[in-house]
Amino acid sequence: MSDWFLQEEYGVRFEWGPTGAQQLAPDAACLVVVDVLSFTTSVTVAVEAGTQVFPCAWRDETASVFARNKSAALAVGRRAATSTSPWSLSPAALRHAPFTPRLVLPSPNGSAIAATAGDATVVAGCLRNATVVGRWLARYGYGTAERPVMVIAAGERWPDGSLRPALEDLLGAGAIIAELESRGVGPLSPEAAAARACFTHTPDVTDAVAACSSGIELARSGFADDVAIATELNASAIVPVLTDGAFNHSTDGTGS
């Protein structure tokens, strides 16, 4: 198979969605999944509280079986959260939910990418932890041609199931790539450089996320708090790394 799509000459690479991740992951030393609204933002909130988060592609009976096998609580849909099942993909709901040590958090975008990433180290990145993720990657030598890092913007879905590139994920990916570049990591592929430029040339990232399609969708559905949490720029010192099937806080997440 042709390898034109691998961005092979570059240490920092960028691509979109589950298909992009599937194509690039075999060549990656590290895969950074960015799903700002809301999987990776929710992962940071949960891991901050000490919860292990297991990614899962779909919220169906297979997810229920998976959760039982992991002795974990199963997150439900945003609108399905109740007092007995308070955990959902909503970071605001997770912030106020009772503590659970283990949580299965399904989603068809970010969670699906993380669950099928293969042998690469997998990190959950978002706007809340972009700086610390970039520092962590640089500290551990990711982002060279020999140890490439793939930053994957998860995107959303159109009604027909096709990928909808999402501005919030482009900005989150760009924020991480900008931190990597500031630390001399690279070189950046043209795709990665374009994502970085989108972030650095957006005058107000918080306003942009709130006003973009995904932000409006959540706000009009009654989940404006999720958008507010997702745009807490660099508020988190958590670097969630997928270890033994679950996201846990890196033991050296603060970077330097």
**Cα angle 35, 40, 45; round to 5:** 145
How many other C-beta atoms lie within 10 A of the C-beta of residue 187?
15
Query: Which phi and psi angles does 54 have, rounded to 5°?
Result: -100, 120
State the pLDDT confidence band at 251, using cuts at 50, 70 and 90: low
CA distance 112 to 140: 25
pLDDT of residue 57: 84
pLDDT of residue 28 exceeding 60, the answer is: yes
CA angle 239, 23, 155 (to 5 degrees): 60
Model confidence at 256: pLDDT above 60: no
Which of the four pLDDT bands, split at 50, 70 and 90, describes residue 2? confident
Q: pTM of the entire structure?
A: 0.95
Selected from 3.40.47.10, 3.40.50.1470, 3.30.40.10, 3.90.1560.10, the CATH number assigned to the domain covering 10-237 reads 3.90.1560.10
Instruction: Kindly list the domain boundaries of the chain, sorted by start residue.
Output: 10-237
The pLDDT of 114-132, averaged and rounded, is 92
Radius of gyration of the chain (CA): 17
Neighbouring-strand partners of residue 156: 164
For 240-251, what is the mean pLDDT? 92
pLDDT digits (tens, 9 = 90+) for 47-80: 999 999 999 987 778 899 999 999 999 999 888 8
Three-class SS state of 239:
coil
pLDDT at residue 119 is higher than 90: no
Specify the pLDDT at position 77. Answer: 86
**Which amino acid is located at 146 in the chain?**
E
Q: Round the average pLDDT of the chain to a whole number and report it.
A: 93
The pLDDT of 90-98, averaged and rounded, is 96
Does residue 3 register a pLDDT over 90? no
Whole-number Å distance between alpha carbons of 10 and 105: 32
- Inter-residue contact 47 to 40 (CB < 8 Å): no
For 81, 219, 222, 223, 253, the CA distances from 92, given in Å and listed in that order, are: 12, 13, 11, 8, 23
User: 143 phi and psi, to 5 degrees?
Assistant: 110, 15
- pLDDT digits 0-9 by tens, 170-180: 999 999 999 99
| Residue 34 pLDDT class (50, 70, 90 cuts) | very high
Strand order in the sheet with 149-153: 12-16, 149-153, 30-34, 121-125, 240-243, 246-249, 52-56, 102-106, 73-74
Instruction: Give 253's pLDDT tier (boundaries 50, 70, 90).
Output: very low
**What is the torsion angle, in degrees rounded to the nearest 10, for the CA atoms of residue 120, residue 233, residue 36 and residue 74?**
80
Which has the higher per-residue pLDDT, 5 or 52? 52
Query: Residue 79: what pLDDT?
Result: 86
Is the per-residue pLDDT at 131 higher than 50? yes
pLDDT at 254 over 60: no
Calpha distance 145→12 (Å, rounded): 8
